[in-house]
Amino acid sequence: MKNDRKIEHELIAELEAAYQRVYEMEELLKEHGHQEGNETKRPQTMSDVRASEARYRRLFETAKDGILILDADSGAITDANPFIREILGYIPEDLIGKRLWEIGAFFDVVASKAAFEELQRKEYIRYENLPLQTKDGQLREVEFISNVYEVDLKKVIQCNIRNIAKRKEAERILSESEERYRRLFETAQDGILLLDAESGAITDANPFLLKILKYSREEVIGKELWEIGPFKDIVANQDSFRKLQHQEYVRYEHLLLQNKEGETIRVEFVSNFYFVNERKVIQCNIRDITQRKWLEEDKQKLMNKLQEAFAHIRELKGLLPICANCKKIRNDKGYWQGVEGYISEHTDATFTHGMCPDCMTIFYPSFVQGDYEKPTGTK
């Protein structure tokens, strides 16, 4: 888009230069006409004039801006290029001979002779966002530039009319994109710092960063990164910052920062580079991972406990050396101990004591057969 605009501006400049060249050539012709002995030079000069006029005409006819030529005294349109139809729907024949203020599209530009006289006096007028009405009633936003120059000692006004609809649409899209970025920047739950890549000066900081570091915006903006307390360990001085500039990407996964109130925060720090308007910018993203680290540590503690428990369970599931007679178990230290003691040490089990029917028959047969003396008063 920039290249197209440059070419169009160069085209306008060439048109004006061509008009001036025609004027100079005609003056030169007059001068030669009054001098003797210049008859041989006249055809060459006329050839130059014709070449200049032809070049001007080609530029005029092929220009991608609408161009109107006015008589500066009367305001009458003396010429119009074909592209005027693309912009406003008028063919040159609709316009030539009419005064500018007689054309509906230009009513707001030159609404009266008084306004036209003001244009004559200023000799240069520019409207950047001018709504003009096309022949079929549509509104078009245009850039309107008029300037005055002389041709044959007569003032001429050239009006250049550029359709800026695409440019306005591009500006609108850019504005919406910038607004979306700004909303994301303002509402992000990561801290964000923007730095000038050359100086290291902080150019912007989002609210979340200020919140976690307990700094005000005024205390941060304009300062070099190494001047802010929490970042002194990252960029201790300007030389370290130069190294950061050359790396273009830096990541610290477990960085300890201290906020203004002395609290320690665990963060993930990532910086990278990009260009804005052909200027290098460093963006630093700072994510508070304090709670995440707490959860990770709690998870690790739980895993360690589970591993210990599994180790005990594997011990009981393995081969246990047990005495065939007394049923004692040999522990890992080589000592023999009772089953109850061994299991109590290696599990959280608790024993209760009773007697099975076989043992009751052996040790308390009378109780099992019912042959025993009941206490007095019992049935």
Per residue of the chain (379 residues), give pLDDT as tens.
444 444 555 556 666 666 566 556 555 555 555 444 444 444 445 666 677 777 878 888 888 899 999 988 888 999 999 999 999 999 999 999 998 778 877 766 655 566 677 777 888 888 888 888 888 888 888 998 888 888 878 888 898 999 998 888 888 898 888 889 899 999 999 999 998 888 888 999 999 999 988 999 999 999 887 778 777 666 655 566 676 777 778 888 878 888 888 888 888 888 888 888 788 888 989 888 888 877 878 888 888 888 777 766 655 566 778 887 887 888 878 888 888 887 777 777 777 877 888 888 888 787 767 655 555 555 5
- Cα–Cα distance, 377 to 317 (Å, whole number): 53
Among candidate residues 247, 284, 245, 291, the one with its CA nearest the CA of residue 266: 291
Q: What are φ and ψ of residue 119, in 5° steps?
A: -60, -40
Burial 185-219 (b: 16+ CB within 10 A, else e): beeeebbbbbbbbeebebebbbebbbebbebeeee
Domains annotated for the chain, with CATH where assigned, are: 2-168 (3.30.450.20), 188-291 (3.30.450.20), 319-374 (no CATH)
Residue type for position 361: T
For position 34, what pLDDT does the model report? 46
Pairing label, strands 336-337, 264-276: unpaired
* 183 burial level (CB within 10 Å; 0-12, 13-18, 19+): exposed
